[in-house]
């Protein structure tokens, strides 16, 4: 099931996102609870998770930016899409991306 990430998801989100950083790097050093809370409160960011049996197995974020060259129109930028290794190939990543694209459209993004 795809849903919006919450503050209670932080530990699991960090665990999934850790697959995006090189071995030996600790994402937790840069993502403290206060930082995570600020990101969750931003109107310009949506972070979605795919939850399966109470475990977050995929994460993706949408940042909505205002662009000067398009009359200050909105542009959606999808980032940090990752699926736990044991769930890769299941389509969860594509479903997260599709849901983020739909969120961008709902917010009026031109791309």
User: How confident is the model over 18-71, as pLDDT tens digits?
Assistant: 888 875 566 666 677 788 888 888 889 999 999 999 999 999 999 999 998 878
Mean pLDDT of 90-109: 96
Whole-number Å distance between alpha carbons of 33 and 76 = 25
Specify the pTM. Answer: 0.87
Per the DSSP assignment, residues forming a β-bridge with 51 are 56
Contact 59, 82 (CB under 8 A): yes
Q: Compute φ and ψ for 63, nearest 5 degrees.
A: -110, 130
Per the DSSP assignment, residues forming a β-bridge with 62 are 46, 78
Contact 47, 39 (CB under 8 A): yes
* Sequence-separated (6 or more) residues with CB below 8 Å from residue 96: 2, 48, 50, 58, 59, 60, 81, 83
């Amino acid at each position: 099931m795809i849903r919006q990430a919450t503050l209670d998801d932080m530990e699991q989100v960090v665990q999934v996102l850790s697959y995006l950083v090189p071995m030996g790097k600790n994402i937790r050093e840069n993502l403290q609870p206060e930082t995570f809370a600020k990101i969750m409160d931003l109107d310009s960011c949506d972070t979605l998770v795919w939850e399966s049996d109470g475990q977050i197995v995929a994460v993706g974020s949408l940042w909505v930016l205002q662009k000067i060259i398009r009359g200050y129109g909105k542009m959606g930028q999808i980032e940090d899409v990752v699926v736990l290794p044991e769930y890769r190939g299941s389509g969860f990543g594509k479903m997260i991306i599709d849901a983020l694209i739909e969120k961008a459209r709902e917010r009026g993004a031109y791309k």
